[in-house]
Copies of this chain bind each other. A is one copy, B any other.
Amino acid sequence: MKKRIGILTGGGDVPGLNSVIKSVVYRGSEIGCEVIGIRRGWEGLTHLDLNDAASRSRYILPLSRESTRTIDRTGGTFLHSSRTNPTKMKKLPPVLAGQTFQSRETTKNGETSTVYDVTPAVLRNIEALELDYIVAIGGDDTLSYAAELDRHGAKVIAVPKTMDNDVRNTEYCIGFSTAITRAMDAIERQRTTVGSHERIGIFRVFGRDAGYTALYTAFVTSLRCCIPEYKVNLNHLIEILVDDKHKNPSNYSLVILSEGAEWEGYTVKEYGPADAFGHRKKMSVAEDLSTEITAASGAETVVSDLTYDLRSGSPDFIDRMVAITFAGMAMDAIAAGKSGLMTAIREGCYTMAPIPDPKLGPRKVDIATMYDTDRYRPKYDGKLGLPIFLIRS
């Protein structure tokens, strides 16, 4: 098969993206496919001006074994990323200025704005670049546009990534294992300083809507955790943490919070001046919990934010293995002429799944089977029959 494949990465980066890119290029070179890097996610297809050499070099990068040989040794994405969604452009890119596109009103956080759908331009670029296929690597938002393109007849294969592991239709997304590895390492290192000072240590990790990162880190470190899917009782949480500290011969205790975790009656505090849209900065729930613990118990606390570090560095074994396997499956799917599908793991096995419907939102932790609502920790029983990552999608 002689095909020309465009590949892009969208949304927040994670370790393992470069493994997918390299594997697609290497496999392509074996089966006679050209692979073209589209830079900066979907922006590469909305902002590209084919008549402008600077724009072409900004957005298009033909890939070879030579140029991708070493990229899998580092995290991040060699192709850069963006959050551009071609159906929700607030402003037309310069190259499309003056052209007419479908528009609609959307409301987000109380603001209503007009957004344009520049899909016709994207399709023209795909045609002009003579791309037979697009491999899109991303999270919910990036992949939802892959599904949109599929509906317009462009051939796309989606590859799921996100350190939150909350994309539907797959039990695993590239980046999740490395994120837990990083969080686990940081907590094991920082235990010593929390213990030296006999504090209650509060670790905050990403996860506004879904608590997988906090929950799995707690699972492997035997710690308490609070996740967005369940509102804990603040007094009970403080009691548990104070009791943990008291029972620990080193006189400290630890809890992991998702950034979206809340307790009953909690309202996010805001601070600082309003920005241009009238928004003020949100106080971290970890800072709030710290204040509450000290007020209620007198215990000294310390907050540690584990944020960008969790998406940094080189991928661990699992993320490399899954990334490379997903890349192989994507190429197998292309060779078989399939499209509109996402590489996935379901019931513990590799499969090609439908690209999830973004309207369903992120997958959430199943509290009944995964979270002990009395002890505020993961559940460790009843795992028989579950797929390896303990999740059903």
51-105 of chain A: CB within 8 A of chain B: 66, 69, 72-77, 80-81
Q: Which residue in B74, B324, B349 is a CB contact (below 8 Å) of A219?
A: B324
Measured CB to CB, the closest approach of chain B to A252, in angstroms, equals: 10
Q: A196, B381: Cβ atoms under 8 Å?
A: no
Q: Which residues of the other chain, B, contact A348 by a CB distance below 8 angstroms?
A: 345, 347-349, 387-388
Q: A349, B347: Cβ atoms under 8 Å?
A: yes
A residues whose Cβ falls under 8 Å from a Cβ of B: 9, 12-13, 15, 17, 22-23, 26-27, 66, 69, 72-77, 80-81, 172, 177, 180-181, 184, 186, 188-193, 195-198, 216, 219-220, 222, 248-249, 251, 269, 271-272, 281, 283, 302, 304-305, 307-309, 311-314, 316-318, 320-322, 324-325, 327-329, 331-332, 345, 347-352, 380-388, 390
A304, B307: Cα distance in complex, Å: 8
Q: B190, A317: Cβ atoms under 8 Å?
A: no
Q: B349, A193: Cβ atoms under 8 Å?
A: no
Count chain B CB atoms within 10 A of each CB in A321, A328, A332 and give the residue with the most. A321
Q: A318, B27: Cβ atoms under 8 Å?
A: no
Measured CB to CB, the closest approach of chain B to A92, in angstroms, equals: 18
Q: Which residues of the other chain, B, contact A387 by a CB distance below 8 angstroms?
A: 348-350, 388
> Are A328 and B271 CB-contacts (below 8 A) given A75-B192, A388-B172?
no
Copies in the complex: 4
Count chain B CB atoms within 10 A of each CB in A189, A269, A281 and give the residue with the most. A189
Q: Which residues of the other chain, B, contact A26 by a CB distance below 8 angstroms?
A: 222
Q: Which residues of the other chain, B, contact A181 by a CB distance below 8 angstroms?
A: 316-317
Q: A193, B76: Cβ atoms under 8 Å?
A: yes
A140, B333: Cα distance in complex, Å: 38
A302, B26: Cα distance in complex, Å: 27
Q: Which residues of the other chain, B, contact A80 by a CB distance below 8 angstroms?
A: 195-198, 251
Q: B388, A311: Cβ atoms under 8 Å?
A: no
A249, B318: Cα distance in complex, Å: 28
Of chain B, the residue at the smallest CB distance from A310 is B193
Q: Which residues of the other chain, B, contact A22 by a CB distance below 8 angstroms?
A: 222
Measured CB to CB, the closest approach of chain B to A325, in angstroms, equals: 5
Q: B222, A72: Cβ atoms under 8 Å?
A: yes
Q: Which residues of the other chain, B, contact A302 by a CB distance below 8 angstroms?
A: 308
Task: Give 25 A-B contacts (CB < 8 Å), ordered by A residue.
Answer: A74-B192, A76-B192, A76-B193, A76-B196, A80-B197, A81-B196, A81-B197, A177-B318, A184-B320, A186-B309, A189-B313, A191-B312, A192-B313, A220-B324, A271-B281, A304-B309, A322-B388, A325-B383, A327-B380, A331-B381, A332-B384, A348-B348, A350-B385, A351-B385, A352-B384
Q: Which residues of the other chain, B, contact A385 by a CB distance below 8 angstroms?
A: 349-351
Q: Which residues of the other chain, B, contact A269 by a CB distance below 8 angstroms?
A: 272
Q: Which residues of the other chain, B, contact A322 by a CB distance below 8 angstroms?
A: 388
Q: Which residues of the other chain, B, contact A283 by a CB distance below 8 angstroms?
A: 272
Q: Which residues of the other chain, B, contact A384 by a CB distance below 8 angstroms?
A: 329, 332, 350-352
A331, B321: Cα distance in complex, Å: 31
